[in-house]
């Protein structure tokens, strides 16, 4: 599967192949201890790591509320070391936008490290609620930062897209104005993969919806071909689409 560290690409959990198989219909088991189960889910999601290096090319398709579309070429690269792993996202200069490079260092049991460059300028300090390039993906979306928040609860068990799930509530103890205060993630019981998510502000207003897109079989493995994020405030949508045939 795609081990890209971005919401809904399932972070190397091996979830795509099972999620794509509709023959498996596990029962929805009740939640017995919301805090305990939520903390355990968040730990698993934070600590998951890809098994090998890989690289994909693709593009960000940004659709405005009036239907106008912008396409931004993007490369995503995963590098794995014995102690941590790195996720790189790089856009090419296009449509009057400078190239951007984001490198996220994932460290087991520790917080992520973000290094962000716009054109030739290094961005410092990095604000995680800033968008990557002109897209609707914030840096914290790409780093799955909400799974690092201290408050994690499994608030309910339900079906999503034909799969039995736990709904994980991640609460930000100090949300910035206009930022995420709470994120709900639908976690597949069987695979541990993320199927969809919703982000809310401090007033409980829906800000964004994230959703897996099409699934494609490549080299005998089911892989996520695209995912989308819809900004409920601006009515914009960004789709991240990968060319799975050109995996390196």
Query: What residue has token string 């695979």?
Result: 191
DSSP-assigned letters across all residues of 3-25:
--SSTTSGGG-SHHHHHT-TT--
Q: Cβ atoms within 10 A of the Cβ of 29, count? A: 10
pLDDT digits (tens, 9 = 90+) for 43-77: 999 888 888 888 888 899 999 999 999 999 999 89
Its pTM stands at 0.85
Average pLDDT over residues 151-158: 95
What would the two tokens of residue 221 be?
A: 């493995």
Q: Cβ atoms within 10 A of the Cβ of 42, count? A: 24
Query: Could you state, in order of their start, the residue ranges of all structural domains in the chain?
Result: 10-243
CATH number for the domain running over 10-243: 2.50.20.10
Confidence of residue 136 (pLDDT cuts 50, 70, 90): very high
Average pLDDT over residues 138-158: 94
Average pLDDT over residues 172-184: 93
Query: What residue has token string 């999601």?
Result: 45
pLDDT digits (tens, 9 = 90+) for 90-110: 999 988 899 999 999 999 889
């Amino acid at each position: 599967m795609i081990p890209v560290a971005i919401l809904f690409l399932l972070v190397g959990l091996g979830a795509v192949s099972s999620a794509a198989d509709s023959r498996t219909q596990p029962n929805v088991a009740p939640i017995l201890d919301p805090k305990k189960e939520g903390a355990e889910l968040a730990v698993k999601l934070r600590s998951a790591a890809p098994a090998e290096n890989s690289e994909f090319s693709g593009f960000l398709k940004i659709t405005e509320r009036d239907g106008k579309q912008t396409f931004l070429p993007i490369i995503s690269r995963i590098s794995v070391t014995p102690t941590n792993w790195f996720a790189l996202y790089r856009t090419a200069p296009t449509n009057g936008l400078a190239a951007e490079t984001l490198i996220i260092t994932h460290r087991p049991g520790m917080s992520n490290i973000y290094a962000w460059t716009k054109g030739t300028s290094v961005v410092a300090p990095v604000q995680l609620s800033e968008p990557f390039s002109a897209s609707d993906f914030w840096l914290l979306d790409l780093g799955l930062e909400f799974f690092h928040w201290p408050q994690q609860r499994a608030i309910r068990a339900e079906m999503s897209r034909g799969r039995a799930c736990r709904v994980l509530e991640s609460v930000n103890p100090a949300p910035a104005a206009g930022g995420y205060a709470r994120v709900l993630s639908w976690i597949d019981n069987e695979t541990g993969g993320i199927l969809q998510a919703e982000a809310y502000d401090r007033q409980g207003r829906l800000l964004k919806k994230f959703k897996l897109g099409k699934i494609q079989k490549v080299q005998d493995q089911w892989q996520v071909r695209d995912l989308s994020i819809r900004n409920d405030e601006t009515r914009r949508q960004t789709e991240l689409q990968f060319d799975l045939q050109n995996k390196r």
